[in-house]
Structure 1
Amino acid sequence: MSGKFIVIEGLEGAGKSTASHCVRDILMQRGITLEQCREPGGTGLGEALRELVKSPDLEDSPCAKAELLLMYASRAQLVETRIKPALGKGSWVLGDRHDLSSQAYQGGGRQLSQAMLAQMRDLVLGDFRPDLTIYMDIDPVIGLERAGRRGALDRIEQESLDFFHRTRARYLELAEGDASIVTIDASQSLEKVEADIADAVNARISSWLSHD
């Protein structure tokens, strides 16, 4: 089977790391060669941009449009230098966030226009899209409480609760209209969350196998 690009998405505290481990284990059990990456980041340039985007200590924090451009600069570097080459070799790629994050955080949370987000996506990515996105859905109140227990919050994690409610609403809106996105209720028990992820991933792999 040809290489596939799977992405884990969700708000802070939704359990993206747990989901990534779950998906990785499923793929490794099937003998699938896998590379992992994160956004923003995943390359030397991307990690430097990540610091600019997420640091709460900058004297001159990026405005909404600058933040969006930094996210896409990091994404472009990652897609062109790591993700596409890996897929071209037949490897699978598991990403911690991708374009859906910008559509939700900058489009929903920052309230930048959907037209601007669509133009930026098409300009940078063309028709490149994940084969499967696992969206970990969580109430922002619960998610931020979990995130706070991990340690100090970064610049984006310190945003208002309203910001995260807008971001979640946009995530849900986009997920509802895209068959490549599977929504997982991340407020369930760990066992149920992992079972739902496994069901979703295995079902999608079966579908891909039947078409290859």
Structure 2
Amino acid sequence: MTGRFITLEGGEGVGKSTQIRALAAVIEAHGIETVATREPGGSTGAEAIRALLMEGSDDRWDARSEALLFAAARADHVARTIRPALARGAWVLCDRFVDSSRAYQGGGGGITDADILALHGFGSNGLLPHRTFLLTVSPDEAARRLTERGGSDRMGNKPADYQTRLAARFVEMAKGEPERWRIVDADAAATEVTARILAELAEWL
């Protein structure tokens, strides 16, 4: 692989999609092909599974079912979108990846990290990003942004105790793998957040 695989992680309303668009524009201005994608989704098969995961009631699936569906969607995404892009030298910017499963179904749903990574090893051959950014915002700011965009999806509607476990798990992962992760305070203006992320990518541009 000659490209770069960059992921953005965090809870609902932290601004991942906004930052993906901004980063793609800057990286493309450097003459680098950029593929902006998301999870669940990013390929035809994965987008079909996305509808199953993101719609319906909070209790539509239990944590194990969710983990399996996310792993299946990710496997198709990796095989059909991410690996081909990296092989041709493109940069892939992805809104969520396996670390979201580790946080949501792991920290939030109680599935062990080993089980989630075993699924990832089988489905996606263990592919990990070159760099992962955890965007964090205050609860009040996240709520304001979600209200502004018209509410949340099924995963964002999970109860408060789930969201607390989720946030703690993201921080735990980021601090446990400092060579890959960077934590970015996303309460700041979007342009300032973009600049902070780009500073951490400058060595590759």
- Does structure 1 residue 14 correspond to structure 2 residue 18? no
Amino acid in the other structure paired with 2:35:
E
Q: Which residue type is aligned with residue 6 of structure 1? A: I
Q: After TM superposition, which residue ranges in structure 1, 4 or more long, deviate above 4 angstroms? A: none
Say which is worse superposed, 135-144 or 146-155, in terms of deviation: 135-144
Residues 79 and 124 in structure 2, CA contact (< 8 A), matched pair in contact too: no
1:93-149 CA deviation, whole Å, 9 max, x = no partner?
A: 111111111011111111212222232222223342111112111234532332132
Aligned partners of 1:202 and 1:70: how far apart in 2?
Answer: 35
Q: Distance in 2 between matches of 1:62 and 1:41?
A: 18
- Measured in 2, the distance between the counterparts of 1:171 and 1:192 equals 22
Select between 194-203 and 69-78 the one with higher mean Cα deviation.
Answer: 194-203
Task: Tell me, in whole angstroms, the C-alpha distance in 2 between the residues paired with 1:182 and 1:111.
Answer: 24
Letter matched to residue 143 of structure 2:
L
Asked if 1 retains the 8 angstrom alpha-carbon contact of 2:55 and 2:153, the reply is: yes
Query: What is the CA–CA distance in structure 2 between the aligned matches of 1:144 and 1:24, rounded to whole Å?
Result: 26
What SS does the corresponding residue of 2:111 show, helix, strand or coil? coil
Does the 8 Å CA contact 2:12/2:152 hold for their aligned counterparts? no
3-state secondary structure, aligned to 1:80 = helix
Displacement of 1:31 in angstroms is 0.6
Match of 1:209 in 2: none
SS of residue in 1 equivalent to 2:36:
strand
- Contact 1:71 / 1:102 at 8 angstroms: preserved in 2? yes
Q: 1:145 is matched with which residue?
A: 144
1:140-191 residue CA offsets vs partner (Å, 9 max, x unmatched): 4532332132114221111112211111111111111221111111112334
**More displaced stretch, 92-101 vs 109-118:** 109-118
8 Å CA contact 1:8–1:133 kept in 2: the answer is: yes
Cα drift, residue 201 of structure 1 = 1.9
Structure 2 segments unaligned to the other structure (5+ residues): none
How high is the TM-score relative to the length of structure 1? Answer: 0.88
Instruction: Give the whole-Å Cα distance in 2 for the aligned partners of 1:167 and 1:36.
Output: 25
- What is the root-mean-square deviation of aligned Cα atoms in Å? 1.9
Secondary structure of residue in 2 paired with 1:112: coil
Q: Report how many residues are paired.
A: 204
In structure 1, the residue matched to 2:161 is 162
The answer to whether the aligner puts 1:201 opposite 2:198 as a matched pair is: no
Q: Could you say what secondary structure the match of 2:134 adopts?
A: strand
Structure 2 CA distance for aligned equivalents of residues 110 and 145 of structure 1: 25
Tell me the TM-score normalized by structure 2: 0.91
Q: Return 5+ residue gaps in structure 1 as ranges.
A: 207-212
> How big is the shift at 1:5?
1.0
Does 2:1 align with 1:40?
no
- Change over 3 Å in CA distance of 1:82–1:3 after alignment to 2: same
Tell me the equivalent position of 2:91.
92
Which residue of structure 2 aligns with residue 67 of structure 1?
Answer: 66
